[in-house]
Structure 1
Amino acid sequence: MDKRVTTQRVRPGTLRRILPYAGNCRWALVTLVIAAVTDAVITAGSPLILKAVIDEGILPGKLRVVALLAAGVAVLALVSAVAVYVQTWLSARISEGLIYDLRTEVFDHVQRQPLAFFSRAQTGSLVSRLNSDVIGTQQAVGSLLSQTVSTVLSLVLITATMFYLSWQITLVAMVLIPLFFLPAKAIGRRLQRLARHGMELDAEIGSLMNERFNVGGAMLAKLYGRRQDESALFAREAGRVRDVNITQLTISRLFFVIATLLASLMTAMVYGFGGALAIDGSFEIGTLVAMATLLARVYQPINQISSMQITVMTALVSFDRVFEVLDLKPLITDKPDARPLDAAAKSPDVVFEDVSFRYPAAEEVSLASLEAAASTAESESEAWVLRGMSFTVESGRMTALVGPSGAGKSTITQLVPRLYDATEGTVRVGGTDVRDLVQDSLGAAIGVVSQETYLFHDTIRANLAYARPEATEEELVEACRTARIWETVAALPDGLDTVVGDHGHRLSGGQKQRLALARLLVKNPPVVVLDEATAHLDSESEAAIQRALKATLADRTSLVIAHRLSTIREADQILFVEAGEIRERGTHEELLEADGRYAQLYRAQFIRQAEAEAATLPAGGPREDAPAEDGADGADGADGDRNAVTAGREPTGR
């Protein structure tokens, strides 16, 4: 972690930004203040009753007065208990409301960040902001709300009562009070820096666990035999957290040691001076007892106020880290006059007009405190990924993107749903610049299936219905049939209600991709983007899905990145992309006849695919009506799953 992050100070104005969140519960705050005032008055007034019990009841021998005053003390104790309970309940209600408001606001704000933000930020750091930091603010606010008003009022009323009884003793007691706050300020600043450092370390260790505890990270550690190294790495990180926490606890305890010492010195001074006055007959014994009681009670609010000073300083770090995320402006936003994409347009065309693109700089999309290593310059933000790109994907037609790895093909597909904005030029969908469209409507009109399929740790039904929550079960089943995955799903013990595991790792790569295709069919979008969506399928399985999707995609505008010859042959237009530029365009036959870069790629890669596909076809060529087996991709298929289920194993498909 960059040292500048862990040593930075709380930004000015942080405290002012907190008040509106607490202000959402005005009536609760008013009631809290009333309860706090009641408790403070009772706390300050009880010693006066004790004085009256001694001077007006016990010494004169008036039993009735003693009994009445004792009953009064009991009633006040009951009222005080109710007031304390009300304070506790209301402070919890206000603080929990604050954590709810902050947490939902941060989650919504993070959701609106561009894809570049998530490609840079550590997941553990983001989770830390939503959990540890927000909870830290809640705990601080809860304790401050339950203590501040009553503590301050108690101190004021107790001090006033002490002056009423003996201004001389009170002045002696007040001499040492400022000494309580001096160490609190110095210790608070030190704890503030340690708190920020501790939060950053917690975020780092959270990211480490998030990466190592998912299936991919665990598999990597096992395959490379790095279990002991990973344990040693975690031990080092945990050791850093331990050392910071020990330092925090030690320094916090140091304050209470100093406060206890000062309180003892104050008690000694008051007892000595007050005892001398009592011997001289300057005031009565009951007054001395009342003063001693008040003096004992004044320590608590003084200590609490000093502790609150430290609590506020450390809590400001949590608030500052939360506000740091909220202050990060989303790079991609809707214009005030943005309009929705015309839902009536069945298959809008997609047009790139002289589009150039480079990735945004780190400071535009992310925070140094959310990244593993902060840097001031990023070479990736300076390199052009796309240059002067112009083409049209006609309505209802398919355009295939072909080219070497790193040519910019995936970037092209990410500009269509506006995961990024073009640096120069214009991307149009349905004749409208995507920057003039409402993002939600654009997302609703475009369906994307990428090579790296993501599934939530949930049921197959929930993952499919994510595309369209109102979809019926019949529609889910039909989508699975079309994507050639239904036989696999039906063979599972729980069918659609089978939980797919973290990132879908209970399924094979081919099964996950077919579920992603089924999810796309459930969404039923007019524009389809396939980023090597059949990469994990063998030729026969892909051919089966292509036949199934051919009719479905006939009326849709499709932009496809393909490394499969069968997919490319279906395209109405092929764009050969290299180094961020379109070097060739045309149909499969036209590009072969031109004998350029595409023809070279075909001879190097696709001829072998053509031979492999020909070998899998029956004599006479492919039959459109031939049934495609759901288990065509070997171990990924339904037969493998049925065998696994029969044997009592998890249907991993691997």
Structure 2
Amino acid sequence: MSGLRGGPPARMMGGGDANAQRARNAEAPKVEHLLRRITELFQPYRMPIILTIVLVLVAAALSVIPPLLTARAFDVGLFPTGGGGPNLPALGEIVGAMIGLYIITTLLGVWQTYLTATVGNKVMGALRVRLFSHLQAMDLSFFTKTKTGVIQSRLQNDVGGVASVLTNTISSVLGNTVTVIAAFVAMLLLNWQLTIVAVLLMPILVIAQRRVGQVRARIATKTQESLSDMTAITQETLSVSGILLSKSFNRQGTEIARYADENANQVRLQVSQQMSGQVFFAMVSIFLSSIPAIVYLVAGFLLDNGAADITAGTIVAFTTVQARLLFPLLGLLRVALDLQTSGALFARIFEYLDLVPQIADAPGAVDVPTRQAAAGRVSFDDVTFRYADASPTSRATLDRVSFDIEPGQFVAFVGPSGAGKTTVSYLIPRFYEATGGRVLFGGVDVRDLKQQSLISHLGIVSQETYLFHATIAENLRYAKPDATQNGLETAAKLANIHDRILSFDDGYDTVVGERGYRLSGGEKQRIAIARVLLKDPAVLILDEATSALDSISERIVQQALDTAARGRTTIAIAHRLSTIVAADVIFVVENGEIVERGTHADLLAAGGAYAALYSEQVTAAIAG
């Protein structure tokens, strides 16, 4: 039966081998590319690396001399070949040379450690800053689709995970390689027959090391993914918002269980990663530790048969050299495993560095025109927008929208939730890119403007005010780092928050807490308005800035907004129509289209969508 079925399995096996070979051939360029990119990280530090190489080579070369001196100590100093007692003068010279070499190699090792630690940590630091800078350049859609904890994990866990490799690889590879080669040379000089015995099984260790490294690389990838998930859970649930949510719904137990499950997975992966190489290194250690005993046996056999001229000094020196071979060889094998493991981490880091921002300055981008009147003009010319992950058959978020906002005008966009109002505010600063038509600022297509220059002319106050865990003054200076105390107070007075700030014990040095949770919603909004006023933009965008406030806070904040809007173009995304009745133009948005436009009085008189919205809110206010 097996003979009848022998053909097909053989062909299948051959196909499997071919597929495996093709996979290896495809993987080789990726590995080479990854190694080249890792090597490029060290390019700015060529001189310290060259000096390190020199120190490593010198120290490694010197480290094999003491075993040779050991043979001399036995054969010349302790047991001279001519007979008689020990040759103390010769022995003193040899011992002095050995001690001197130990001192020199130790000092060289300290210097080498300093250089490698400096270079490694600088490379790691530069890599972290480079990754952070690249993420800062990513478009808004990347952050809406990626958990903050996952991003934090790439910056902290992944970059931190390669720290030891960056710090120790150069010295370890060079030093151990030179030591191993020099030790082999010394062993050959002492006795070539014993050297063959010592290195007979080395190729098997190299093959085993490669297999173990592949396993550890796969486990490392899974470990970092698990760390990302743990960081994301921590960031989501231990933030002020997350804690309030879990306490409000009594879900602390659920969050603890979710974290505990992922933590158990992380523990399992960490144990697997550490144990994956232990059996291998145990075998290596047993093998290398057993070689001296085998050498004694082989030496005895050779002496008994007269096949070699071996002295006691030769045997002692040979086993000493072989013992010195143990740790460098283990070090090389560990570095090889670490490099395979860290390759997975580098791949994850480069994966983020290779992300291309969807929105970037065009090659010929220019600054916004300096004329204040031109800078304050905003126009949409037949603009269409659809989110990248939206279905091709779904309705566009904005569909062929056109309007003009003149410098100094106060305009408002109203309409039901999901109509596309906020999207309008995102397209002006190019947080998202229009998929059709043109968005003009100062008469220039925003795609032809430098985004940094564009945003410098815009001030945005959103419904969800974000404040850093810092003082009020530091939060205000985020808009203008060189602002004076007088400038801060002027902006705060215009925002109707100065007196409230002074009522705090620490005044402008009051720490607001994470996301400003020590302040009320109205206080946070007014600080946000003061921050925008400190920036003094040509165009002010208000994205439902008062919709989450109570009526008293809304009235106070609205007064601050009215002050902020004075003398500048203002675009208000409004939910409460009572806040925009004085607007020069009101645009009514439904299903991504502008269905009405005009003043408050004109739109009420028209009796259309705006009049219906206004009537509905008035009725709700009376009922409330």
- The correspondence for 2:54, drawn from 34, 42, 46, is 34
* CA deviation profile, 1:315-353 (whole Å, cap 9, x unmatched): 111111110000000111011211111233255210000
Secondary structure (helix, strand or coil) at the match of 1:81 reads: helix
State whether structure 2 residue 416 is matched by structure 1 residue 404. Answer: yes
Identify the residue that residue 503 of structure 2 maps to in structure 1.
Answer: 491
Deviates more, 1:293-302 or 1:411-420: 293-302
**Bigger CA drift: 505-514 or 560-569?**
560-569
Q: Secondary structure at the match of 1:333?
A: coil
Partners of 1:122 and 1:465 in 2: how far apart?
28
**CA 1:153/1:472 → structure 2, altered by over 3 Å: closer, same or farther?**
same
C-alpha contact 1:349 1:429 (8 A) present in aligned 2: yes
- Please say if 1:440 is aligned against 2:452: yes
2:256 aligned to which of 216, 231, 236: 231
In 1, Cα distance between the equivalents of 2:36 and 2:192?
A: 38
Partner of residue 600, structure 2: 588
Q: Does 1:564 align with 2:576?
A: yes
1:409-558 → structure 2 map (5 Å cutoff): 409-558=421-570
Select the residue among 12, 17, 20 that pairs with 2:37: 17
Please list, as runs of the form range in 1=range in 2, the aligned pairs for 1:123-522 lying within 5 A after superposition: 123-279=148-304, 280=306, 282-346=309-373, 347-361=375-389, 379=391, 383-522=395-534
- Residues 122 and 153 of structure 1: is their aligned pair in 2 closer, same or farther, counting only changes over 3 Å? same
For 1:411, give the aligned amino acid: T
Equivalent residues of 1:359, 1:380 under 8 A apart: no
Q: Distance in 1 between matches of 2:392 and 2:415?
A: 21
List runs of 5+ in structure 1 lacking aligned partners. 1-7, 362-377, 613-654
Counterparts of 1:154 and 1:549, CA distance in 2: 73
> Retained in 2: the 8 A contact 1:447–1:528?
yes
Does the aligned pair in 1 maintain the 2:494–2:563 contact within 8 Å?
A: no
Q: Distance in 1 between matches of 2:229 and 2:213?
A: 24
User: Per-residue deviation at 1:462?
Assistant: 0.6
Q: State whether residues 529 and 561 of structure 2, in contact with CA within 8 Å, keep that contact through their aligned partners in structure 1.
A: no
Alignment RMSD (CA, Å)? 1.9
Distance of 1:265 and 1:355 partners within structure 2: 78
Tell me by how many angstroms 1:268 deviates: 3.5
Match of 1:78 in 2: 103
CA distance in 1, matches of 2:70, 2:558: 91
* In 2: Cα distance, 1:253 partner to 1:344 partner: 70
Instruction: Check 1:241–1:9 CA distance in 2 against 1; reply closer, same or farther (3 A cut).
Output: farther
Contact (CA 8 Å) 1:510, 1:536: kept in 2 or not?
no
Please state how far the C-alpha of 1:299 moved relative to its aligned partner: 1.8
Deviates more, 1:342-351 or 1:233-242: 342-351
Post-superposition shift, 1:146?
2.4
Q: Partners of 1:81 and 1:72 in 2: how far apart?
A: 14
Shift of the 116–268 alpha-carbon distance from structure 1 to 2, 3 Å rule, reads same
Post-superposition Cα deviations, 1:224-252, rounded to whole Å, max 9, x if no partner, equal 11111211111111000011111112112
Amino acid at match of 2:518: R
Which deviations, in whole Å up to 9, do the C-alpha atoms of 1:129-168 show, x marking residues without a partner?
Answer: 1111111222112121221111000111110111111111
Residues 361 and 450 of structure 2 are in contact (CA less than 8 Å); yes or no, is this contact kept in structure 1? yes
Q: Is the 8 A contact 2:299 2:310 kept in 1?
A: no
Give 3-state SS (helix, strand or coil) of 1:484's partner: coil
**Native 8 Å contact 2:422 2:573 kept in 1:** yes
Q: How much has 1:357 moved relative to structure 2?
A: 0.5
**Hey, what's the Cα distance between the residues in 1 that align with 2:563 and 2:335?**
69
Q: Is the 8 A contact 1:103 1:134 kept in 2?
A: yes
Structure 1 distance, partners of 2:272, 2:556, is 64
* C-alpha separation in 2, matches of 1:435 and 1:397: 23
2:10 maps to what in 1?
Answer: none
Change (3 A) 1:381 1:233: farther
Q: Distance in 1 between matches of 2:392 and 2:617?
A: 30
State how far apart, in whole Å, the 2-side matches of 1:398 and 1:380 are: 35
Counterpart contact for 2:413–2:587, Cα < 8 Å: yes
Letter in 1 for 2:611: A
Pairwise CA distance, 1:34: 1.1
Identity over aligned residues, as a percent? 37
**Distance change in 2, residues 1:142/1:551 (3 Å):** closer
Q: Structure 1 residues 415, 501: CA separation in 2 closer, same or farther (over 3 Å shift)?
A: same
Equivalent-residue separation in structure 2 for 1:583 and 1:565 (angstroms): 16
CA distance in 2, matches of 1:197, 1:492: 49
Instruction: Please state whether the residue corresponding to 1:569 is helix, strand or coil.
Output: coil
TM superposition shift of 1:546 = 3.8
* Separation (CA, whole Å) in 1 of partners of 2:201 and 2:550: 83
- After superposition, the C-alpha distances for 1:550-597 in whole angstroms (9 at most, x for unaligned) are 354232111101123332112110011011111111111111111111
Counterparts of 1:418 and 1:217, CA distance in 2: 30
Partner AA of 2:569 in structure 1 = T
Question: Residue 358 of structure 2: SS of its match in structure 1?
Answer: coil
Is the 1:482–1:549 Cα contact (8 Å) retained in structure 2?
no
- Alignment match, 2:68: 48
* Structure 2 residue 78 is the aligned partner of structure 1 residue 58: yes
Say if 1:563 and 1:382 are closer, same or farther in 2 by CA, change over 3 A. Answer: closer
The separation in 1 between residues aligned to 2:381 and 2:583, in whole angstroms, is 21
| Contact 1:565–1:606 (Cα < 8 Å) also in 2 | no
3-state SS, counterpart of residue 426 of structure 1: strand
Structure 1 residue 470 displacement after superposition: 1.5
Tell me which residue corresponds to 1:87: 112
Q: Deviations over 1:498-551 (max 9, x none)?
A: 111111111111111111111111111001100011223344544444445435
Is contact 2:525-2:557 (8 Å) kept?
no
Aligned AA (2:384): S
Q: Any idea what SS the aligned residue of 2:41 has? A: helix
Following TM superposition, by how much is the alpha carbon of 1:9 offset from its aligned partner in structure 2, in angstroms? 8.1
The equivalent of 2:137 in structure 1 is: 112
Structure 2 residue matching 1:576: 3-state secondary structure:
strand
User: Residues 287 and 381 of structure 1: is their aligned pair in 2 closer, same or farther, counting only changes over 3 Å?
Assistant: farther
Which 5+ residue runs of structure 2 have no aligned equivalent?
A: 1-25, 81-85
Instruction: Measure how far apart 1:217 and its partner are.
Output: 0.6
In structure 2, distance between residues paired with 1:545 and 1:205: 39
**Equivalent pair of 1:456/1:502 in contact (CA under 8 Å):** yes
Q: Residues of 1 paired with 2:564 and 2:130: CA distance?
A: 40
1:609 shift after superposition = 4.9
Closer, same or farther: CA 38–46 of 1 in aligned 2, 3 Å: same
Task: Provide the secondary structure at the position in 2 that maps to 1:406.
Answer: coil
Matched-pair contact (CA < 8 Å) for 1:355–1:389:
yes
- The alignment partner of 1:35 has SS state of helix
2 CA distance for matches of 1:181 and 1:136? 24
Query: Which residue identity is paired with 1:52?
Result: R
